[in-house]
Structure 1
């Protein structure tokens, strides 16, 4: 069975090629899947997609007409795929349900620490031979209250790290993790209570119809003045304009973001010789109290190997059995 791998990059191609060797025939394209590239899948029974790809109803129709019967996602999240349409077309979709949650949890901590201890500003001042400390005062994380939204594999890994710092943990999730309650003294509460009482808020939940714009003007207004806001989950969980307003009002003191709601045409590509036509993004990345990374939280050797291994396994299982253990539709 031939598989077309969309949105391949220098960081993941060698790993996928190595693990697929002798198991499966793969073809690669650096282009993302969208309305202009869906025709490239003609003659392929399967495609492998990344988070930057787009698989809405219109595009799935093209894939189905071209003979695609299986979509292997190289991600946990599947908000970029219209699952109902895929099911209607009898196109199976499988994801990577887990791959080193520590990668993303640790990146969340890295953003938090860089913001709190003013690492970027300190480096800038150092290069200017300005060794004054006046602008570099942070705070102890010990005894601070950390609000964690979503305590799945990634969220629970983040909780355990924060517990190691000696923090008090508030959590919001539709399901409670009793192991976290017992081992890390986590208190599950409402989102409003979490917002009102947290010194730091970390977003670790999936994007779906229930979490779309979960953080908006209302939720930001419920937060403590001076809260630190971290999002390494999905950009669409946060209304970016409302976050920008909260930053300008001083409600959010600093924000560490690895995702952005309109990131698809921006992240993962070299725009060094082009103008980015996104005024909101420009405002966010130029804000002195915002630190943005380009959806790199997952980017560790362990995570890349886990993603590649599960993706290849899903494809091989589907080619043999017509289904994989990680099918989601």
Structure 2
């Protein structure tokens, strides 16, 4: 008879998946799509980090989100528990030590694309809200203040929008921006020929920064993009530039952007991500004192809009995340590979 761990992996029916950093909507969508796979699902509000690995059950698969800490220490602890699968219910994977997972013989899968349009549309929502100040108008009218002073925006039509990163999300954003009649310029180390044929003009990074009225970030976080927005690159931009980030918080040096806001080099700033978001986002802290002085300063600006990493948060995206994640775990547990090779990281 094979060892117990191997037996569990060969029979996914009844296999347990433990979800860390789980929210009610995770439970709703994963339970809805679990009828075909028949896993035992356990949803834990706690995040996965070195101090919480004790709750992992032997032989279970673990499912994590973007703010969980899946470093070498955590992976060693998971390997000792007989964990063979780590499933990321996200596209990004910079929070996982893939080399450590590979050395431990743990398979890692992700959801490479769930709804590029969801994030791209949220980026445009941030831009439109900041520009036309609909959030401020909403609060005014509720107080029976119908004055227009202070609510002036600008036409997007005819403006130059720069897009850094033209993967699936960046591509979707380019198409949306073109629909508004914008001139779209882009930077990517792998230009998209279909976008180029559709009228998107690829330029060097420096040129995109120099000529854009609006700049939207859609690139992954890696060594070459870490803090790609910093005091040096900010100085290349047009005075009063609008900056939108729905990708990864560490693409921006927040302190440098605060200085640029104070100097009016950045005119509008929309963020759905933040470099220290793991201590804040996805939790209700309305009754707490937040000791993060950087984000407190950031949110004190009237021309800054921060949302709590909700770009992915649509019914279509959550359905796809649940479907792909459960399907990938089922295939890995049975010893086969998911059909989409982009799902597998290790």
Please report the TM-score for the alignment, with normalisation by the length of structure 1.
0.97
Q: Which residue of 2 aligns with 1:327?
A: 344
Which segment is superposed worse, 266-275 or 104-113?
266-275
Counterpart-to-counterpart distance in 2, 1:208 and 1:167: 29
Q: Distance in 2 between matches of 1:121 and 1:270?
A: 22
Secondary structure of 1:315's partner? Answer: helix
Name the counterpart of 1:281. 295
Which of residues 321, 326, 341 in structure 2 aligns to 1:307?
A: 321
Task: Supply the distance in 1 between the matched residues of 2:268 and 2:117 (Cα, whole angstroms).
Answer: 23
| Structure 1 unpaired stretches of 5+ | none
> How many angstroms does 1:323 deviate by?
4.2
Supply the distance in 2 between the matched residues of 1:278 and 1:56 (Cα, whole angstroms): 24
* Whole-angstrom CA distance in 2 between matches of 1:261 and 1:44: 33
Long gaps (5+) in structure 2: 1-14
Q: CA contact under 8 A between 1:146 and 1:201: conserved in structure 2?
A: yes
Contact 1:69–1:91 at 8 Å: present in 2 too?
A: yes
Deviation at residue 321 of structure 1 after TM alignment: 1.4
Per-residue deviation, residues 166-218 of structure 1 (Å, max 9, x unmatched): 111110111010101111x1111111111110000000111112211111111
Give the distance between the partners of 1:268 and 1:260, measured in 2 at CA: 12
Secondary structure of the equivalent of 1:269? Answer: coil
Which deviates the most, 317-326 or 74-83?
317-326
Structure 2-normalised TM-score?
0.92
Equivalent of 2:196, from 164, 176, 181? 181
Kindly provide the CA deviation profile for residues 42-66 of structure 1, in whole angstroms up to 9, marking residues without a partner as x. 3133101111211011111111111
Equivalenced residues, count: 328
User: Is structure 2 residue 15 aligned with structure 1 residue 15?
Assistant: no
Offset at residue 22 of structure 1 (A) = 4.9
Instruction: Give the root-mean-square deviation of aligned CA atoms.
Output: 1.2
Aligned match of 1:239: 253
Tell me which residue corresponds to 1:221: 235
Q: Secondary structure at the match of 1:12?
A: helix
Over 3 Å counting, the alpha-carbon distance change for 1:313 and 1:140 in structure 2 is same
Tell me what 1:250 maps to: 264
Q: Which residue number in structure 2 is paired with residue 206 of structure 1?
A: 220
